[in-house]
Amino acid sequence: MLDALYAHRLVFVTGKGGVGKSTLTAALGMHAARSGRRTLVCETDTFSAMEPLLAVGRPVGHQPVVAAQNLWACNIQSEQSLADLVHRFVPSARLAKAAVSNRLARLFFRTAPSMYELSVLYRIKSLMDERDGDGPRYDTIIIDLPATGHAITFLSVPETANKVLRVGSVAEMSAELAAQLRDPNITDLVIVCIPEEMPVNESIELHKAAHDKLGLLAETIFINMVRPAPVPEDGRAALEFLADKFEDEPGPGGIGVLAEGGELGLDWSRQDREYIGKLHRGIQGANFIEVPYIYRNESDVDLIRRIADHLNAP
């Protein structure tokens, strides 16, 4: 089911903060690597979540490190990427580094619109172009997009940069990058959502904007943290009867308290289904993958393994 997704060179994972984007990026990376693809998982300028999630065992920095068989992780540093980018235009790496660390230039690049985004995308492109023997070093690069800001804005940066700069080497490079980001054979977008009002609305808008503005289909949509119903459909009536009967009293053997917990679960599950219905109605023809809420008492990497196992299920 996810083979079509992994066939893309670049997979951008996007979603509102707090929906479990990093968790699913890690799980997708693990799952793709298990299927034999050389997979690189990228974060950008963050407090690396991959370190614990993939049990990398050492700091995840700008340069990719091995996380497991067929799996690498990196945490792209925009300052370093900017220096890399500048290096293309000034002869020596030292001079490039000096140029971007100049106080005034630094101030300019720090605040100038989209300069960092452009550098990060440039870095991703370099990683995509890296070779190992006859083939590419990485088959699939999965990128955990920053939660703040809009994925579409981020992915439109090369195009905007091209329009703003018009001529020059960076303008040309941006044009090439923009074309690759808009090519549905190269790039795909994964939307991570949870069954709540804002994330659902935003996902519907994002899906539409990806199509309208970038020409990308964003066919894979994860619905994370779906709370399971405490009882199957045919047991609901009995549960509600029980909860009513022993409302605010312990009941035989203290069952009333459990019934109350069950009823709470029923409400949650109903509410989740309602939002999931809304998401389905808002996005036609996508591949929806539900990931159950995990009431965990386990380590991070076990959780990721569990979700990766779940992704195998049809």
- Site residues (vs another protein, CB under 8 A): 16-19, 46-47, 85-86, 89-90, 99, 102, 104-105, 107-108, 110-114, 116, 146-148, 153, 157, 160, 164-171, 194, 196-199, 201, 230-231, 235, 237-239, 241-242, 245-246, 251-255, 257-259, 261-262, 264-265, 267-268, 271, 295-297
Question: For tokens 């195998």, what's the residue?
Answer: 312
CB of 91 to another protein, least distance (A): 11
Give per-residue burial for 60-79: e unless 16+ CB within 10 Å, then b: beeebbebbebbbbbbbbbb
Report the residue number, 47 or 132, with the smaller CB distance to another protein.
Answer: 47
What pairing do the DSSP bridges indicate for beta strands 71-76 and 65-68? antiparallel
Rounded to the nearest 10°, the torsion over CA 311, 151, 217, 271 is 60
Report the residue number, 36 or 235, with the smaller CB distance to another protein.
Answer: 235
Report the residue number, 36 or 89, with the smaller CB distance to another protein.
Answer: 89
Tokens of 296: 């965990």
What's the CA gap between 220 and 210, in Å, rounded?
12
Tokens of 218: 């964003």
Q: Which of 18, 19, 65 is nearest to 42 (CA)?
A: 65
CB of 133 to another protein, least distance (A): 33
Report the residue number, 140 or 203, with the smaller CB distance to another protein.
Answer: 203
For residues 146 and 44, the answer to whether their CB atoms sit within 8 Å is yes
CB of 139 to another protein, least distance (A): 29
CB of 117 to another protein, least distance (A): 8
Report the residue number, 179 or 237, with the smaller CB distance to another protein.
Answer: 237
Tokens of 24: 């699913």
CB of 281 to another protein, least distance (A): 16
